[in-house]
Copies of this chain bind each other. A is one copy, B any other.
Amino acid sequence: MSQLDEKQRKFVDENPYVGIATTLRADGSPHSTVVWVEVENGKVSFNTARGRVKERNLARDPRASLLVIDPNNPYKWVSISGPAALTEEGADPQIDKLAKKYIGKDEYPWHSPDEQRVKVLIEPEKVSSSGFDDEQ
């Protein structure tokens, strides 16, 4: 199994750079959207809600890819793919933590009582990256 090296982990976890998450529709075709991301125990994680397209896709077929790109340097990015696990455990604290990371708010401002948040954890089975070679 491949995994993120320390530079890649820091890049994804410590910068407020969004990820492009791709899941598979029922017919197997790819569907891409933008997500907030972090790394948890070596897995790349984002947050969604029950019933959303990507949640339904992953519940059916766990295979996902996620690419995080530096907005200041489009030649610096990390792309991972692997199976995703879905859990409600810790999903509410996570969305608040991501709101802090990405928009500087202590709480996710769009919480809805009708919505069950879901934490997605992708195992980085395959990892590729660009722009890390010439780094100190």
Which residues of A pack against B, CB within 8 Å?
17-18, 20, 22-24, 28-34, 63-67, 69, 71-72, 74-75, 77, 79, 81, 126, 128, 130
Residues in B neighbouring A69, C-beta threshold 8 A? 18, 20, 34, 69
Q: How many copies does the complex hold?
A: 2
A67 touches B130 (CB 8 A): no
**Given A20-B20, A22-B22, is A32 in contact with B65 using a C-beta cutoff of 8 Å?**
yes
Residues in B neighbouring A23, C-beta threshold 8 A? 30
Residues in B neighbouring A126, C-beta threshold 8 A? 31
Partner of A20, one of B28, B67, B75: B67
Residues in B neighbouring A67, C-beta threshold 8 A? 20, 32-34
Partner of A63, one of B20, B29, B63: B29
| Cα–Cα distance between A28 and B72 once the two chains are bound (Å) | 32
B18 touches A22 (CB 8 A): no
